């Protein structure tokens, strides 16, 4: 069975209440729920949370609720641990029904930049290519090339975050954001993964180890997960562009 798992907790330090914050007339978390509902390949949707409000919104979409453990609901908890816990609960439930998990469609309440057809595309890729571990949405952000990254040193001044020599001959580099080629970031819209990725998280590629090692890119633009209020205009623009005139 292909199942979707949406995670989101009550607390947020950078943006309190972000998961249910209204965006263009809907709670932020409704957009990934709508995408999961619209995907033709998803057979069941789960929401893992400690929030009564998130549970209430989820039930409007007919989801099944997983009570997220208290130790997975603090600022130190990692999303990967919430995914593993939810997956294990789902696997146990399905085993009781004589079913098994074929693919996990992993979603986040604060990541609204995803569509049902994109999910279906990723599922079909994995069904046709058994050696691929996952399919994830990526967006191109050349302006955030690691070549441009800096850190503040003990002297209080800026220094390269990564030695320039890692990228090749520094004499060939310049300030053009496109000079080092396209830079793709996993934008957290969706991660469609095989169960083995969650069963053996330790084998996954950092930093999002749930994606495994062989990761297929689902190219889109402008995708991001919301951690701060100043990101809201970007996702509002994305939603207007991708979902013009769509009625939910």
Tens of each residue's pLDDT in the chain, 248 residues = 999 999 999 877 779 899 999 999 999 999 999 999 999 999 999 999 999 999 999 999 999 999 998 888 888 889 999 999 999 999 999 999 999 999 999 999 999 999 999 999 999 999 999 999 999 999 999 999 999 999 999 999 999 999 998 888 888 888 898 888 899 999 999 999 999 999 999 999 999 999 999 999 999 999 999 999 999 999 999 999 987 555 55
C-alpha torsion sign, points 145, 148, 154, 156: negative
* Preceding peptide of 120 cis, ω within 30°: no
Q: Taking the CB of residue 103, how many other CB atoms lie within 10 A of it?
A: 21
pLDDT for the residue 244: 59
Domains of the chain are 2-137+186-242 (3.90.550.10), 142-182 (no CATH)
SS3 content of the chain, % helix, strand, coil (to 5): 40, 20, 40
Written as six digits, the tokens of 124 are 């079909």
Task: Output the CA–CA distances (angstroms, integers) from residue 42 to 82, 110, 215, in the order listed.
Answer: 20, 20, 20
| The pLDDT value given to residue 243 | 75
| Closest residue by Cα to residue 208 from 138, 116, 123, 112 | 138
């Amino acid at each position: 069975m292909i199942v979707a798992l949406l995670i989101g907790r009550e607390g947020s330090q950078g943006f309190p209440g972000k998961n249910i914050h209204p965006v263009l007339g809907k709670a932020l978390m409704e957009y990934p729920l709508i995408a999961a509902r619209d995907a033709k390949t998803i057979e069941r949707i789960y929401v893992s949370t400690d929030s009564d409000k998130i549970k209430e919104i989820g039930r409007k979409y007919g989801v099944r609720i997983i009570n997220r453990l208290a130790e997975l609901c603090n600022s130190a908890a990692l999303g990967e641990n919430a995914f593993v816990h939810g997956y294990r609960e789902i696997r146990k439930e399905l085993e009781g029904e004589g079913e098994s998990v074929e693919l996990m469609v992993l979603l986040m309440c604060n990541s609204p930049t995803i569509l049902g057809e994109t999910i279906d595309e990723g599922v079909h890729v994995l069904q046709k290519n058994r050696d691929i571990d996952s399919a994830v949405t990526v967006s191109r952000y050349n302006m955030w090339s690691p070549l441009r990254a800096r850190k503040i040193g003990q002297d209080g001044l800026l220094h390269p975050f990564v030695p320039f020599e890692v990228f090749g001959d520094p004499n060939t580099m310049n300030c053009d954001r496109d000079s080092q080629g396209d830079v793709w970031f996993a934008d957290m819209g969706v991660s469609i993964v095989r169960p083995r990725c969650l069963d053996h998280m330790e084998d996954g590629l950092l930093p999002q180890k749930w994606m495994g090692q062989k990761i297929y890119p689902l190219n889109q633009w402008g995708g991001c997960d919301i951690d701060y209020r100043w990101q809201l205009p970007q996702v509002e623009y994305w939603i207007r562009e991708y979902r013009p005139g769509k009625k939910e």
